[in-house]
Structure 1
Amino acid sequence: MKMNHYYADLEESYLFSTIAKKVEDYQTGHPDSKIIRMGIGDVTLPLPEVVVSAFQAAVLEQGTKAGFHGYGPEQGYAFLREAVRNYYMSYGVELEMEDIFISDGAKSDVGNILDLFDRDNQVLIPDPVYPVYRDTNLMAGREIVYLDANMENGFLPLPDRRQRADLIYLCSPNNPTGAVYNRAQLQDWVDYAREQEAVILFDAAYEAFVSDPALPRSIYEIEGARECAVEFCSLSKTAGFTGTRCGYTVVPHELNRGGFSLRKLWLRRQTTKFNGVSYPVQKAAAAVFSLEGLAACRAHIDVYRKNAGTIVETLNNLGIWHVGGVNSPYIWMKCPRGMDSWAFFDDLLERANVVGTPGAGFGKNGEGFFRLTAFNTNANTEEAMQRLWEIYA
């Protein structure tokens, strides 16, 4: 029997599992400590009432003979795909219904899309990076080329035309750095991908946090992107679906490589390996895109935006370099006093009882940096920043 030996190239533990274990050990030794968690990007506000009502109604339907739904379409029910299509149209992007695939979250599809591509493709990934991009390709044994994101380029690297690439990962607003590409920068990436005949895998999980109309929320706002990009979106941060699980992936019909339509291949893959998202979850997701649902989600996002503003203000007053926190729920800060990422993690946990994410966990260029998230209550965020001020001022 032969095992997939490429798994040996992975870190023994997933980054956030390591953090959870360190926090658990600290809490066990200090049971009276009030730990404020600003590490993992999990939301803290409950589902909007209109979403819960739709969820409950759909569950009750499942208990009736007339309303029962068994296997649904793997691509997603038409009512939800139409709602997603209308959502895109609200900011000027027109999609075909057949381009939209409902999923159980962006993380799953970001990994599963790799089924369509040969192992010999060369992958271009910015560093620092969301670990899933890196690890799913390591699992398959692909060659990865890392692109330097750093303070000099504002953690928004642009293509180097001397570098060959077949698959390109981009995330904007970025996880972990919170940096956001403008239209000209994304146009450069799209032009590069078309020159290379590469495919951009564009993670737009945080598009709902973009409030500046000058910044793109979708790669498809960029000319030529339909011919070279797949877009992954999520309701996790938009509507609090981290525990409910629903997202969507867009594969335009214009995207073809090696004589294959990627949309047709993805449909074939999904119909073979995926039985779709449950009917009640899809009804709840459709409610997100109603006028009432969108208003409720915007109100929740405003809470997180206020938290981001509190963090940014504190870091500004402390004179700590950072990026993100505007048009993004993440703040990427330089570790104070020259500490490395894990040393700052330990110091912040022990002296302030605040949890963040060490930048080194996102790649070598993350060393010396640290990620804080805005996903907490306003009161907890204010208290955490007060503790930070008292220690590092």
Structure 2
Amino acid sequence: MAPSALQLSTSPHFSSSHSSFFDIGGFTITRQSKVFLPSRRASLICRSSSTEKTGTPTYTTKVPRNANIAKLNAGYLFPEINRRKSVHMSKYPDAQVISLGVGDTTEPIPEVISSAMAMRSHELSTFEGYSGYGDGQGDKKLRAAIASTYYGDLGLEESDVFISDGAKCDISRLQLLFGANVRIAVQDPTYPAYVDSGVIMGQTGTFQKDVEKYGNIEYMRCSPDNDFFPDLSTVPRTDIIFFCSPNNPTGSTASREQLTQLVKFAKENGSIIIYDSAYAMYISDDSPRSIFEIPGAKEVALEISSFSKYAGFTGVRLGWTAIPKELLFSDGLPVAKDFNRIVSTCFNGASNVAQAGGLACFSAEGLKAMGDVVGFYKENTDIIVDTFTSLGFDVYGGKNAPYVWVHFPGRSSWDVFAEILEKAHVVTTPGSGFGPGGEGFVRVSGFGHRGNVLEASKRLKQLFK
């Protein structure tokens, strides 16, 4: 608990205005503000702090800081957005701030799913229904449901699926799997977790401010000029290729022809594709929903996905990684075998309550409910696309994804973010936070209550009319 949050039951008759250390039952707590000494019920000892006098710590350990973490350029994008939102709300306490920035779902979890979690939770209070550690790879019924629903005709089985506490967590576990000595490629712009986890793992050089890139990462530029798909003829070989489709942040979706090129490129180079399909259910045309729809992909790719944006599980935390048996390291050993060791060592399996909800997602009623949730957010993106299009902006995404990518040529993304927040009280996401290729764009999320999306549309039209 932070010192400022400490609550003490005290007597009003004694006080001290200086900083002091309180020793409560062996725990030492520092207070920097006015303190009331307690009544006779608690025994507290006041000690002076040399730290307060000098302003610097008097003791440090001999443990060095992780040099890779020190290489990170700034705070993670989304907490920084929330920080700026909080500052704005302090400045304008009466403003009704609408958040279309961080990609967090807003609509209730469908009852068919939440009731399954509630039932499983109640069962844990009974001798018959209680269970402790489960299979580290995940509940077999859930793995089988994912395999049959998403990969049934693609040659993957239940044993190829690993259940996790979210795709973002699996990104870091995969970085641990491949280690510090691999070189990675990412789309530019890209979801920042790929890059930041690579930096922390030690795969990269330092941040190069002049080009807004980390050394030893290949940034594959994706822009309107190349239909948001990189020119692979200009991309050097890397060990790992992170690829997200439908894409976060641009909302673009790779075509079957483009993904065929990507698989061919990976095979020629002996690379492994980490394919992020977290938004696949938003696809409404014939674009591939899985990399494994592409012939040969099982030899060069694995796939991560999530329940977060389908079933409202952003707080529940549940996802999966699918690793085909055909995917092998250079020595011929299966990638899945080593990932299973990572999972066994670093993870005791996803919550049994969350997995019960995941299994309910694959009932007929659950699949329909998830489809309804996705449809609702897609309607929100239609409103946002229409808003910016009517104002004359070049707008991308939105069709097969919950994100709209709006171009503000010649302007700083953070400046646009600040203007929209200051004048319209609407939170967006600056494109440059996703990499140098995002400069001049902002991402607007379709996750929001309908009334808020309509109100944001109204404010944006007033701002940019």
Would you say same fold, with TM above 0.5? yes
Question: Could you tell which deviates more after superposition, 260-269 or 113-122?
Answer: 113-122
Partner of 1:165: 238
Partners of 2:231 and 2:273 in 1: CA distance: 13
Q: Which of 64, 79, 87 is equivalent to 2:141?
A: 79
Match of 2:194 in 1: 133
- What are the superposed Cα offsets for residues 176-225 of structure 1, whole Å, 9 maximum, x if unpaired? 1100000000010000101111000001000110111x100000000111
Q: 2:251 is matched with which residue?
A: 178
1:216-274 per-position Cα deviation (integer Å, ceiling 9, x unaligned): 00000001110011100000001100000000100100000122210111111111111
Structure 1 regions of 5+ residues with no counterpart? none
* Residue number in structure 1 paired with 2:392: 319
Aligned: 1:147 with 2:208: no
Map of 1:301 onto structure 2: 374
The answer (yes or no) to whether the contact 1:158–1:188 under 8 Å persists in 2 is no
Q: Is the 8 A contact 2:245 2:280 kept in 1?
A: yes
Pick from 150, 154, 172 the counterpart of residue 88 of structure 1.
150
Match of 2:298 among 226, 234, 256: 226
2:176–2:201 Cα contact (<8 Å) kept: no
* Alignment partner of 1:47 is 2:141: no
Matches within 5 A, 1:336-351: 338-351=410-423
CA RMSD of aligned residues (A): 1.3
| Preserved contact between residue 173 and residue 327 of structure 1 (Cα < 8 Å) | yes
Q: Which residue of 1 aligns with 2:307?
A: 235
Query: Are 1:331 and 2:404 an aligned pair?
Result: yes
Q: Secondary structure at the match of 2:304?
A: strand
Shift of 1:162: 5.6
2:89 pairs with 17, 27, 50, which one?
27
1:16 aligns to 2:78 (yes or no): yes
CA distance change for structure 1 residues 137 and 235 in 2, over 3 Å: closer, same or farther?
same
Match of 2:329 among 234, 238, 257: 257
Deviations 1:87-145 (A, max 9, x none): 1147x433111100000000000111112224222111111111100001111221211
Q: Structure 2: where are the runs of 5+ without partners? A: 1-62, 204-215
SS of match in other structure, 1:110: helix
Percent identity between the two aligned chains: 41
Using the size of structure 1 for normalisation, the TM-score is: 0.97
Q: Is the 8 A contact 1:158 1:185 kept in 2?
A: no
The alpha-carbon deviation at position 17 of structure 1 amounts to 1.2
Higher helix share: 1
- Distance in 1 between the 2:128 and 2:190 partners? 48
SS where residue 232 of structure 2 aligns? coil
What are the within-5 Å matches in structure 2 for residues 192-203 of structure 1?
Answer: 192-203=265-276
TM-superposition CA deviations, 1:23-69 (whole Å, max 9, x none) = 10110111110111000000001111011110011011111111111
- For the 8 Å contact 1:158–1:189, the answer to whether it is kept is no
Letter in 2 for 1:102: I
For the residue of structure 1 that corresponds to 2:275, the secondary structure is strand
Deviation at 1:158, TM superposition (A): 3.8
Partner of 1:354 in structure 2?
426
Task: Work out which of the residue numbers 161, 167, 176 in structure 2 matches 1:115.
Answer: 176
SS in 2 for 1:160: helix
Aligned amino acid, residue 15 of structure 1: L
- The one-letter code of the counterpart of 1:63 is S
The 3 A distance-change label for structure 1 pair 162 and 301 is: closer
Residue of structure 2 in register with 1:279 after alignment: 352
Contact 2:218 2:235 in 1 (8 A): no
User: How many residues are paired up?
Assistant: 390
Greater RCO between the two (CA within 8 Å, min separation 6)? 1
Moved more, 303-312 or 135-144: 135-144
- The SS at the match of 2:377 is helix
Shift of 1:85: 1.3
Cα distance in 2 for partners of 1:17, 1:80 equals: 32
- Is residue 165–residue 351 contact of structure 2 (8 Å, CA) maintained in 1? no
Counterpart amino acid of residue 349 in structure 1: L
Seen in structure 2, the aligned counterparts of structure 1 residues 351 and 128 have a Cα distance that, compared at 3 Å, is same
In the other structure, the counterpart of 1:7 is: 69
Equivalent residue for 2:161, pick from 89, 94, 100: 100
Q: Does the CA contact (< 8 Å) of 1:38 and 1:373 recur in 2?
A: yes
Match of 2:363?
290
- 1:390 matched to 2:462? The reply is yes
Normalised to the residue count of structure 2, the TM-score between the two structures is 0.82
Contact 2:179/2:201 (<8 A) preserved: no
Cα distance in 1 for residues equivalent to 2:357 and 2:224: 41
Q: Residue 21 of structure 1 aligns to which amino acid in structure 2?
A: R
Supply the distance in 2 between the matched residues of 1:2 and 1:119 (Cα, whole angstroms): 19
Name the larger-Rg structure.
Answer: 2
